[in-house]
Structure 1
Amino acid sequence: MNEIVEETVFISQVSNTKHIHRQSHNNQHLKEFILWFVLLICLLLLAGPFAHHLSYSVPTVKTRTIARHVFSEERALDYLINLTQYGSRVSNTRGNIDARDYLISQIKHICSLSKSHIQCELDLQNFTDSQHNQLQNILVRVSNSIQKSQNIPSLMLAAHYDSVEFSPGAADDGSGVVIILELLSNLINDLTIDFSNVHLIILFTNAEESGLQGALAFITNLRWRSNVRHFLNIDSVRCTEPANLMRTTSSQLVMDYSRVTRPRTNVILQKTSTWFGFNTDYDAFKYNGFRLGYEFGFYLDGYTYHTPLDHPSTFKQGVIQDLGENLIILIRNILLENNQQIADKYDPDPLIYFDILSRHLIIYKLSTSILIQKILIVLIIIIGIIRIIFDHIYHRKQNFSCNGFHCIYFQFKNPLTIRILSIIIYSISNILSMIIGLLFSLLLACMISIIQPASWYGNSTLAIFLFSLPCLIGFIIFRYLFDLLHGRILRKSSQNSNEIHFDFEQNFSVLIVYSLSMIISIYSNSQYFYITLIWSIFICPLYLVLIIIEFILHWKQIFEKNAHQLYLPLLISLFPLIHTIEIVNRILRIFIPFVSLRFSFGWIHRGNIIICSIVVIPTLFFLPILQRTKQFLHLISILLISFFIVLIVACIRQPFTKNHPNTFYAKHTSESIYNAETSMNNSFDVSLISQQSSITVNTYHGLVLSPILDQFSIKNGHKLYNKTCFSSTNCTFDDSFNRQLAVEHIQIESIDENYSNYRIRIQHVLSYNIQIASLWNIELTVQNELDIPRKETIIDINLHSTISIFEIDIKIQRCEIHDSPFLLLFTRLMSNIVLMGEGFCHAIDDDTTLIINR
């Protein structure tokens, strides 16, 4: 009896010892998790705010008193303030013509300060746009007056000086124009450049906003374009962050750009314009024979793009200086080196390139990327197979106690099969976890598009957290459920399941996932999958080294706690994490303003999915690293709390503010009919028989318009008559805001006895855009067509005797905000919504039909 009691006590002590050991083990895991989580937060801070500060830092602004050959932002901004004082510069308007004259005067002044052997040739290229307006491009060729050869190559610097309706066009594209003006002054005053080997052409195009018409006109100018070897185009949307090299005609040209002080570019930026379908003068040059070209621009945070807020006061200090200093280095290298080698237009082995915190440019060939990925895949397969075979042979010959993964060889009848199956199962679970995480984020994107479609508008950081957290949560939840299922299966298969570890299998499964991503990258043969190599080249070697070291040391004490598996993958991911967050943030800041503009055209769901995909796809590379922490419940709790905080902020915040406003467009349309009976008298006034006018308002970002118009009507006490909304973002109502009629008076005079020739005098509002047309078979001549602007149009017509009735159509277009009482009132009362203009001048479109009966 005493023996039995003693045995019972012994069992109780063993049970307590196991309980204490389990509790100590759990406490140790909790401490490791806390340390791991603190380390993760530190890495995110380094990869986020700190990296952002380094990437977007700008140089000190050079004052206007500095030497003329040194780029000065202050001098460039002096040009800009003068250029934008004319208001909007829509083609063939007062602002456009005044801006042209100002640029000509500044070019003449700059050239007057040039060295004696430097020759400046100023030319104005006349062309007719699609609306039959007579427009001009401004061209300057700088050459050496001593060197008379006609076959000297040229470098062309281009920007457009027109803007859209209502916008002073400070960034788009006043920034490009004034940077080139300052660069022209720098180069002419640089004693090291004599333009004997390479000429310099300055091109300021007109009518870019209405379809690249100025650039296309320049293409036809054989005198100026024949020797252009390099071109450099500048176009922008907002100057609140440093500019990027957006596109090159050949990736080989990036080698020359890599010499600048602060290179800012990424191969992915080549696709941005294609994804949105917008074109610049760069496209006209590229697809019409110019094979060596760059496009630079300020494309981040384009929330004030094509609005009255595109003003010099919004510029961030130092960004003009930053781009100017980079360009002067690139231009000097081209002018001095006389590099006439034509790069391969089709880039048979294109370069992959990206900047590191805007300090250094990493450049390597696509073939090199593919080769490295193939080597990594082969190493992963070979080392994995060798490790399993050696384990199998070695541990079969030894008599080890059950410790760590060695238990596999004593607890299972077919350990080799178990190990292979475990690798497959872990790999599938990782892939499924990533798919679940992706689906979680896409589901949230669909929900957000219904609840708060533009919740991320104006804040790329919020978008990153909003869509990455659900991905992490979905991944961790699935991994947690898989571990529970896996543990339950092991408990049924083995009595000592708690001592069985599959660390090697889990590590190797991570390598399998990365191998699959590299296979996709290789198969795509695309530069734009380079992010796969960035992660793989850091993570895969680390895991391979750990696998080898653990095998060699046979799990000695230094690796007994397996802490290296928890911390090392996190530490080694610092560089790819910094680069991934930085490039995702940069792309989001380009995409968000343009994606949301298309909400009114059915892009609400698509836009949210696009933004979600930009965030989540790079996040997937980081997910397998998270599986190393076994504290799934703690991690899920932290992620859920963080997600709900971010979701609440996203739902209650006001996305549209002064710095990133909502936008609308309004178009006035009037139709007037005048009728004349010519047999009444030789000279007579024509009577107005009908007139109607309306205003059509469109909002962007999916903003519902009807409540806004109701609010506007209450504020100004003016009823909107016959309001009809064709969609939630498009409404029309009568134009009853006392707007001046375009055509004020029409007089017809017969100028021969047979009543076949008439002179028509039309008195109308002052306008630069007056179009006279007739569909009838009559000879029509506008006597004062070249008088721009004008308040009277004189038309001579010649009729055949068979014509008894005919019509003349008179179209008068204006785009000054003071010509519209409605726009003046709306913009004053509804300060949270800003006008967005278009490239043509047709915000106020007055169509008049003159019917003449003989």
Structure 2
Amino acid sequence: MNEIVEETVFIPQVSYTNQIHRQSHNNQHLKEFILWFVLLICLLLLAGPFAHHLSYSVPTVKTRTSARHIFSEERALDYLSNLTQYGSRVSNTRGNFDARDYLILQIKRICSMNKRHIQCELDLQNFTNYKHNQLQNILVRVSNTTNKFQNIPSLMLSAHYDSVEFSSGAADDGSGIVILLELLSNLINDLTINFSNVHLIILFTNAEETRLEGSKAFIANHRWRFNVRHFLNVDSSNCNEVANLLRTTSSQLVIDYSRVARPRANVILQKIPRWLRFRSDYDIFNLSYSRLGYDFGYFLDGYTYHTSLDQLSTFKQGVIQDLGDNLAILIRNILLEHNQQINDINDADPLIYFDILSRYLMIYKLSTSILIQKILIILIIIIGIIRIIFDHIYHRKQNFSCNDLHCIYFRFKYPLIIRIISIMIYSISNILSMIVGLVFSLILAWILSKTQPTSWHGNSTLAIFLFSLPCLIGFIIFRYLFDLLHRCILRKCSQKSSEYNTKHLNKIHFDFEQNISVLIIYSLLMIISIYSNSQYFYIILIWSIFICPLYLILIITEFILHWKQIFGKDFHQLYLPLLISFFPLIHTIEIVNRLLRIFIPMVTPLFSFGWILRGNLIICSIVVIPTLFFLPILQQTKQFIRLLITLLVIFFIVLIICCIRQPFTKNHPNTFYAEHISKSIYNAETSMNNSFNALLISQQSTITVNTYHGLVLSPILDQLSIKSGHKLYNKTCFSSTNCTFDDSFNRQLAVEHIQIESMKNNYSDYRIRIQHVLSYDIRISSLGYIGLTVQNQFDIPRKETIIDINVYPTISRFEIDIKIQRCDINDSPFLLLFTRLMPNIILKGEGSCKAIDDDTTLIINR
């Protein structure tokens, strides 16, 4: 009876003890997970806002009273406020000609301050654009009057002074223009530079926005082009953030650029213009491999690019000073010939370069990168094999002396096979889990393209969370399933009873197998990098050079200690990999953020051209591919369920924000383009009188509206009709983003009167006088069998066009086409109404006057 009582009392005590032990064990794991997750969040916060603050900090703005040889943002912005007062500077318009005259005046003023043996040669290069309009490039060459030698090499600085319709072009490219004007003043007033060995050329091109015609004219015809050895082109999309070095003709040139105060460059940026089909004057100057050049500009957050919001008020204070300071240092080094001599401009062994928080430019050769990766791969293979062999020999010689419960030599009959199988399972699980994570993010991108295609517009941070979280969730889910598979295999292979296995299975040491599997993943990535032989995979080395040595040290340390519990085991297995990944994480987040801030404003406007799915996939890939480098480190945590729940909660919060937020704001506007086309037909019957008038027989105006972000137009137009009180007649939507309707806004006729005179003594010759609205762009054309001469074609602008024509006697009927284009928004009542009544949608312009187009056909019957 006593024994029964004792036994009855004993059993609950054991059960209670086990329960306490399990609860304590769970509490310990919960504390480890919380600490690990808090550390991860702290690293992300440091790698995000901290890196952003350092990378995008700007210098103190120099005032107008600063010495003339020092770059001053305030003086540069004074030029800009005057330049933008002319409004749109589309080629061959009033604003364009006024801007040209202003630049000429400023160049003369700056050169007049010269009190040394410095010569300024101002030259206006005339050229004809594709519309046969007479345009001009503005050039000034600064040289030393005491140097009589010819063919002295030159450094050319270039920017374009034209803009697009309806935009004052403050950033594009007013920022480049004023920076060069201030630099010209700085260099002329710098007594350390005498321009004796290297001349300075400043080139302000026209018609860059239309087929790069100004730069083409310079390269094709100008006499100074042969002496250009170096060139720097400055172009921009928005000036609310710092500028970057986008491209160089040779990667070797970044060695010179690394000496500037705040270098901002990344080799990946070289590919962006090709990916986005972006072209500038740089592409024309780069056609000759004998010239060495740079392409600088403000390309982040270009949401107001080519819109009416491209104004001086959107500029961030200090960004002009930042680029001006950097260019001043680079230009002075070239003029003083302190730059490196480029022996191989073909980049046989190109350089990999990237800035570290805009403080230092890391530069090394591609061959060096490949060599380091090969060494790491060899070390991983050798150390991994040696560790397994020595481990096996050691414990066999000790006659199974490993009595630690964590030791696989104590728990398994065939430990070597278990180790190999475990390595394979961990490696395969990491690879497949990374693929699953990528697929999860791509599926989300596909879903968003169907439901919320612009959910990430205007917020690169939101895009990072939106697409990286599904990748992490997919990785954790699949990695957890493989962990269950691994446990199942261990149960079957263990020498102990199944009950014992279930109780102590999680205590088994598999740190080596997990560590070597991480190294295998990075080895595969490095093999891809090596065989691609590309600079653009440099980020693989950045992660590998930090992670691989750490895991190799852990493998060696574990072998030396032979599974003994050491102080700080959780630290070196869970927390140390996170701490070591801090630098690559900072760099990865910063470059991903930089790429997104370039791509998002450029990709979203392409949605109306069928880029909705492609755009989401591009943004998703920019985020997810770098995320994959971080994923293998997550396998160290065993708290898969807790981590999965946490990530799911965060993801759903981010997803809800994406669904309810308004992606288009004043700083990130929705854009549209409208073509206001009027077609008129005049008819004239010849008579015996010398002079007769043409009669208007038909007139029709249509408006075609396109949105750039996939925005459905029909309800917007209906809303406009209600607000304006005008009915939109014959509205036809060819797609959700393209609608056409008749113009009911009483648009004024562009051609007001046509008078025809028969030339005396020859009834086959006529003089036609066309009275029309004031315009800079009037084109007259006819079929080839009519001789046509515009008598006053060089009178720009004009309200009357005089044409002399000669017609074959056998022709009884002929036509003349008159095309008049304008860029003033006041010439289109519809555009005025739309911009006034729909302020949340901003008008986007083109490089030539296309939005307001009047086509007139004159038919003459003889």
Please report the TM-score for the alignment, with normalisation by the length of structure 2: 0.97
Change in CA separation of 1:411 and 1:324 when aligned onto 2, cut-off 3 Å = same
Q: What is aligned with 2:553?
A: 545
Between the aligned partners of 1:404 and 1:759, the Cα distance in structure 2 is: 108
Structure 2 matches for 1:706-785, cutoff 5 A? Answer: 706-785=714-793
Between the aligned partners of 2:334 and 2:648, the Cα distance in structure 1 is: 55
Change in CA separation of 1:539 and 1:338 when aligned onto 2, cut-off 3 Å = closer
For the residue of structure 2 that corresponds to 1:558, the secondary structure is coil
Match of 1:502 among 480, 490, 510: 510
Between the aligned partners of 1:368 and 1:235, the Cα distance in structure 2 is: 33
- How big is the shift at 1:10? 6.0
Structure 1 contact 250–343 (Cα < 8 Å) conserved: no
Between the aligned partners of 2:762 and 2:609, the Cα distance in structure 1 is: 56
Q: What is aligned with 1:143?
A: 143
- How big is the shift at 1:774? 1.0
Between the aligned partners of 1:693 and 1:222, the Cα distance in structure 2 is: 43
Structure 1 unaligned residues grouped into runs of 5+: none
In the alignment, is residue 814 of structure 1 matched against residue 815 of structure 2?
Answer: no
Change in CA separation of 1:783 and 1:340 when aligned onto 2, cut-off 3 Å = farther
Output one character per residue of 1:142-177: Cα deviation in whole Å (capped at 9) or x when no partner.
000110111210000000000000000000000000
Between the aligned partners of 1:787 and 1:687, the Cα distance in structure 2 is: 26
- How big is the shift at 1:813? 0.6
The code of the aligned residue for 1:462 comes to L
Between the aligned partners of 2:471 and 2:261, the Cα distance in structure 1 is: 38
Structure 2 unaligned residues grouped into runs of 5+: none
Structure 2 matches for 1:225-236, cutoff 5 A? Answer: 225-236=225-236
- How big is the shift at 1:290? 5.0
Match of 2:539 among 531, 534, 545: 531
Between the aligned partners of 2:445 and 2:829, the Cα distance in structure 1 is: 41
Name the count of aligned residue pairs. Answer: 853
For the residue of structure 1 that corresponds to 2:70, the secondary structure is coil
Structure 2 matches for 1:237-636, cutoff 5 A? Answer: 237-337=237-337, 339=339, 341-398=341-398, 399-403=400-404, 405-406=406-407, 408-494=408-494, 495=496, 496-497=500-501, 498=505, 499-559=507-567, 561-636=569-644
Structure 2 matches for 1:5-404, cutoff 5 A? Answer: 16-337=16-337, 339=339, 341-398=341-398, 399-403=400-404
For the residue of structure 2 that corresponds to 1:126, the secondary structure is strand
Between the aligned partners of 1:342 and 1:847, the Cα distance in structure 2 is: 54
For the residue of structure 1 that corresponds to 2:79, the secondary structure is helix
- How big is the shift at 1:569? 0.1
For the residue of structure 2 that corresponds to 1:724, the secondary structure is strand
- How big is the shift at 1:411? 3.0
The code of the aligned residue for 2:226 comes to S
Structure 2 contact 169–311 (Cα < 8 Å) conserved: yes
- How big is the shift at 1:489? 3.0
Between the aligned partners of 2:452 and 2:341, the Cα distance in structure 1 is: 53
In the alignment, is residue 639 of structure 1 matched against residue 647 of structure 2?
Answer: yes
- How big is the shift at 1:562? 3.8
Change in CA separation of 1:600 and 1:190 when aligned onto 2, cut-off 3 Å = same
For the residue of structure 1 that corresponds to 2:729, the secondary structure is coil
Instruction: Give the stretch that moved more between structures: 675-684 or 722-731.
Output: 675-684
Identical-residue share of aligned pairs (%) = 81
- How big is the shift at 1:845? 1.0
For the residue of structure 2 that corresponds to 1:90, the secondary structure is coil
For the residue of structure 2 that corresponds to 1:363, the secondary structure is strand
- How big is the shift at 1:221? 2.5
- How big is the shift at 1:11? 6.5
Q: What is aligned with 1:823?
A: 831
For the residue of structure 2 that corresponds to 1:679, the secondary structure is coil
Change in CA separation of 1:730 and 1:315 when aligned onto 2, cut-off 3 Å = same
Instruction: Give the stretch that moved more between structures: 173-182 or 663-672.
Output: 663-672
The code of the aligned residue for 1:107 comes to I
Between the aligned partners of 2:76 and 2:568, the Cα distance in structure 1 is: 64
Output one character per residue of 1:661-690: Cα deviation in whole Å (capped at 9) or x when no partner.
000001011221111112342101111111
Output one character per residue of 1:766-793: Cα deviation in whole Å (capped at 9) or x when no partner.
0000011111412211111110000000
Between the aligned partners of 2:340 and 2:417, the Cα distance in structure 1 is: 63
Instruction: Give the stretch that moved more between structures: 589-598 or 554-563.
Output: 554-563
Q: What is aligned with 2:802?
A: 794
Output one character per residue of 1:459-480: Cα deviation in whole Å (capped at 9) or x when no partner.
0000000001111111111122
Q: What is aligned with 1:697?
A: 705
The code of the aligned residue for 1:796 comes to D
Between the aligned partners of 2:517 and 2:30, the Cα distance in structure 1 is: 25
Between the aligned partners of 1:727 and 1:799, the Cα distance in structure 2 is: 45
- How big is the shift at 1:8? 7.4
- How big is the shift at 1:414? 2.1
- How big is the shift at 1:760? 0.5
- How big is the shift at 1:12? 5.9
Match of 1:687 among 689, 695, 714: 695
The code of the aligned residue for 2:133 comes to N
Cα RMSD, aligned residues only: 1.5
The code of the aligned residue for 2:35 comes to L
Output one character per residue of 1:353-392: Cα deviation in whole Å (capped at 9) or x when no partner.
0001100100000111111011000000100000000110
For the residue of structure 2 that corresponds to 1:627, the secondary structure is helix
- How big is the shift at 1:561? 4.3
Match of 1:852 among 850, 853, 860: 860
For the residue of structure 2 that corresponds to 1:668, the secondary structure is strand
Structure 1 contact 291–343 (Cα < 8 Å) conserved: no
- How big is the shift at 1:750? 1.0
Output one character per residue of 1:685-733: Cα deviation in whole Å (capped at 9) or x when no partner.
1111111110110111101001100000000110001111111000011
- How big is the shift at 1:554? 2.2
